[in-house]
Amino acid sequence: MEDTQAPAGMYNTVSNQMERLNTQQDKYYEDFPGYNNIIKVSPQEWWLPSHFLNFAAGYRNFKVRNDDVFVMSFPKCGSTWMSEVVWNMKANPDVDHTKAQIPDTLRAPFFELDMLNQMAGDLPTSNNSMMEMFQTWCPGKNVADGIILQLTEAIPDPRIIKTHLPFSLLPESLLDTAKVVYMARNPKDVAISFHHHCRISRFARYAGSFEDFIQYFLKGQVLYGPYWTHVQQAWERKHHPNLLILYYEDVKANYMKELHKLNSFLGTNLSEKQMLGIKEFTSFRNMKGRESEGQNNTSYRTVVYDQEAIKKEGGFFRKGEVGTWKENLFPKFTAKMDQWTIDNTNRLGINFKFCEVKKDKINLETGIEDITLTHNVRAR
């Protein structure tokens, strides 16, 4: 692998040592033709596009406001859904705000979208609603410095900001200044959803087998990987009063209970009637319906996602269900992922709501008969 050096001082407390992937890994790049220039950001070895370097200082030095709420997660853990929930709780409690009809991606900006746009080789055109908003809020600014980054800096309170970047690449003062809602999800469902996502996204264009994708996921060789390092950085901050960790499975199982947690955490003081209205407005059915009706046709999803692939594979909002891995993972892969979960939760000291295993080791040949799936993993 070739070593590269980022500009001095780029990350403040983040290591500026970069390690490029070996371009001889032909099969990987055949499977991910969109991953044309991936780097690993040390010391955690985050798997990111080289375009991250164009905005890394802006991400790290972003001026956080006291009223900001960051919705953070590894990809495909429900951050888009939760961003919509939080935006409505903060800005649209009666579900009657005129801005609720504009694309969710413009109301709750996707913080690092600029690097993905560059990775996909596209910038929004002047006819795109994102560009129109940029010209309104950022007059005279240079698009090359980041459309979304500069928009996020300019928009008024309350700012709801979605990100998949881990804590170590975000402002050091983030938790001491703003609130963060971290979404976690069963990694088996994450892998299934991420596989679909990579098949329809222009910045990945995954063309390999499902089995190979699972291997890449387990090795952390997908964007924003490694998965468990991402989770660990949230988990080790779990006692901070400005961090709330929510589980996708819990929100699906008892929406109102989790909404009450959010109501208290955010200090929004919503009534039961208001929360019921937000529950209906942010249901998966309604969010998917708004996408189908074209509300997001001028948003970033038309830039980042291959519309032909969407016709074949399905759109950004796919199923939104818990346990879809049971329909897709062979017993051998189920067992392997469960052992991977045990090894990592034990190693990192994480108590996580995924599965409780009767045995210390799983028989990877015989598969799932050696385990009992429930809702908890307990670090031993």
Catalytic positions, written as ranges? 164
- Smallest Cα–Cα separation from 344: which of 216, 232, 186? 232
Contact between 318 and 292 under an 8 Å Cβ cutoff? The reply is no
**DSSP letter assigned to residue 189:** H
Q: Cα separations (Å) of 177 from 18, 65, 69, 173? A: 29, 7, 10, 6
As a whole number of angstroms, the distance between CA 182 and CA 188 comes to 18
SS3 assignment, position 359:
coil
Contact between 96 and 204 under an 8 Å Cβ cutoff? The reply is no
- Smallest Cα–Cα separation from 189: which of 59, 310, 325? 325
Angle between helices 187-200 and 210-219 (to 10 degrees): 120
As a whole number of angstroms, the distance between CA 72 and CA 99 comes to 23
Phi and psi dihedrals of 104, rounded to 5?
-60, -30
Phi and psi dihedrals of 162, rounded to 5?
-95, 140
As a whole number of angstroms, the distance between CA 129 and CA 371 comes to 50
- Smallest Cα–Cα separation from 115: which of 123, 107, 105? 123
Question: CB neighbours of 287 closer than 8 A, spacing ≥ 6?
Answer: 81, 84, 104, 317
Q: Cα separations (Å) of 95 from 171, 260, 264, 267, 277? A: 32, 17, 19, 18, 7
Around Cβ 290, how many Cβ atoms within 10 Å? 18
